[in-house]
Amino acid sequence: MFQPSDKQTESAQVKEAVSRLENRREILDALRNPFRGIRELFETLAIALFLATIFKFYEAEAYVIPTGSMATTLMGRHKDVSCQACGYRFQVSASEERDRENHATSTEVLGGTCPQCRLTQRFTSRDISFSGDRVLVNKFIGNFRPIQRWDVTVFRSPSDPKTNYIKRFVGLPEEDIRIQYGNLYVQKEGAAESRILRKPLPSFLRMLRVVYDNDFPPYPLEDLGWPPRWQDQRVINREGTVAWQPTEEGRNFYFPGEAVAAAEPSRPVLECARKLPERESDSLQWLRYRHIIPTFRQWTSAAAGSLPSDLKQRGVIPNNPQLITDMTAYNTPETSMHHPAASMGYNWTGELAVSLNATFYEPKDASSAQFVLELVQGNIPVRVRFDIAAGTASLEMPTVPQFETQTVPCTLLPGKTYSLFFSNIDEQLRVLVNKKELPFPGEGKYDYLCAPLAGSDVALLPRNRDPGELDLTPVSIGASTPVKVEHLKIMRDTYYIALGSALEDASLSAPVLKEKRLYRFGVRDPFDHFYSQMLETDSEEEMAKFLSDPEMWTDYGNTRAALLHLGADQYLALGDNSSNSDDSRSWTHPDPDWPGGKVPHTVDRSLVLGKAVSVYWPHGSVIPGTRLPFIPNFAKMRKIR
């Protein structure tokens, strides 16, 4: 057994004596200064408060989003509900339930319209209203680094500096910004021409709005004979054969490589009043999307278990398919159970994107294996063609030979599944494969075809072109090789509406505007805030008739324009929810307290507080058995793009 030496024992005794002495000193010190612990506590709190103050004023601060002007990028007070028919989850504004001081009003949001199947549903007691997103704002950006275009920014209101706003900065100092055709165009001071503004990829993807997600079909309608929106072209034309076969209850489709005899449907399926337009034949088999929208009356009848008798007798759905519009579910809060036509969206949005998963199989003839995604805008189809044998992807405009085909290597192997994305937005074609953008040599841009060519006053692709028959089948998938497609989703770009005193035709009276343009349902005040086409009708069926009839679309693509000038250290702020946003377009109004007698449409750099960088606390999940949304919602915590 080990025995300690005398020196080791002596050393341990010395250490013990020193320890006892230090303890005694601490006790004596505490007796002489009984408030030392309290003082240290207050010193710690003071330091923490000082650091928090420095953090607040120079680094970051938290804000709550009060309204839906940035929806659906950021949510104000809202309801987050699941559709009672198709199961799709969507949000509806509930800002009407609170005033500017966040006091409860007498208004209660009772319902809303699903953007997928267009069911206007009454909410249940479980559909509570949530407060707006809580966001973290980086104050370093704005104080020490200039705000960049497309930054989501917090700033003091130009008309009321005590009120904070949050918008997206789209215009920079010493620029002219034009709002037209749903897009933004910029012209620098001294420049001869304007150019379209394109978003960086993160903002581009975040600002897309879902038009239709085929993972959520409206089965209650389809079970009664309502046609699916995605259908094989042969089935639509009733040719007796089928190439694209629906699987997983119609959510996905499989093409075996050739058309086969079509089975008899288990129930009669209604036809749309407007047939497919004629197209040039090719070697591909096509799956077509049609925007088939039920009316409130048709849904009411279907909810009772049967379609309206006139539909069943004729076997034809009137006023369908329709153009895709800027309909936004967030803007459909019902405070009384009516269904205004305005909830359908008034503005045609032809700038679309499609995403899907594709699994390829061994073809019989590998040399001719092709897979194509097609989008249509203004009756002009654009495509990305995947040549499986050559291992390439090519951008094409079949009806515009002046567009130079752009090709890059892209290998798609049999037996593997790929995430594919194709968009035609901001006069640019973009393709992502497995979430990586393909680097086409011309970057897919075609704005050179939209501007007048040298020595000509006419553009090949005029920006004000009207929609045509092909826009009634705006998205298609073609193939000559066995393939299965899943998770089909169609999206649209954020549509910017021109309004306010900066309208270039704002000085014209309503009768003059009616003479100048073809309006179908009367004329709104030219200062009206939300409808650039100035269509007005209380009849949902009249609006559906307009959106489905190409003969009524003359001048529909020629939208109003607003031109806004920015001086030194001035920014232009717009909300992502353009049809329901109080922003730079509408701020200019008379005010004797302002220089020049009116509030400016710009945000001065001195009013900028910082850049919104993240949603650190979206609405929480509800604790089971209660109405308390206190469970952290980690899935919706995100960076702000």
Window from 21-25, 488-492, 576-580 with minimum mean pLDDT: 21-25
Cα–Cα distance list, 353 to 379, 397, 431, 489, 589 (Å): 16, 16, 10, 8, 37
Residues of the chain with CATH 2.60.120.560: 212-290+349-492
Residue 405's φ and ψ, nearest 5 degrees, are: -60, 135
243 vs 253: CA distance, rounded Å: 10
Cα–Cα distance list, 160 to 7, 77, 153, 581 (Å): 80, 22, 17, 17
68 vs 133: CA distance, rounded Å: 10
Q: What is the pLDDT of residue 187?
A: 84
Q: What is the pLDDT of residue 28?
A: 44
pLDDT tens string 261-279: 998 888 889 999 999 988 8
572 vs 583: CA distance, rounded Å: 9
What's the pLDDT band for 564 if we cut at 50, 70, 90? very high
Quote the strand ranges of 452-607, DSSP E: 475-479, 483-492, 562-565, 570-574, 603-604
**Superfamily for domain range 212-290+349-492:** Exo-inulinase; domain 1 (2.60.120.560)
Q: What is the pLDDT of residue 3?
A: 38
State what percent of residues in the chain have pLDDT above 90. Answer: 57
pLDDT tens string 190-215: 676 789 999 999 999 999 999 999 99
pTM score, whole prediction: 0.86
Greater model confidence, 23 or 265: 265
What's the pLDDT band for 171 if we cut at 50, 70, 90? very high
With a cut of 60, say whether residue 62 has pLDDT above it.
Answer: yes
What's the pLDDT band for 361 if we cut at 50, 70, 90? very high
The dihedral sign for the CA sequence 107, 109, 110, 113 = positive
Q: Is 582 exposed, middle or buried (0-12, 13-18, 19+ CB in 10 A)?
A: middle
CB 306 within 8 A of CB 224: yes
Of 107, 477, 93, 482, the C-alpha closest to 258 is 482
Residue 5: both structure tokens together: 């030496």
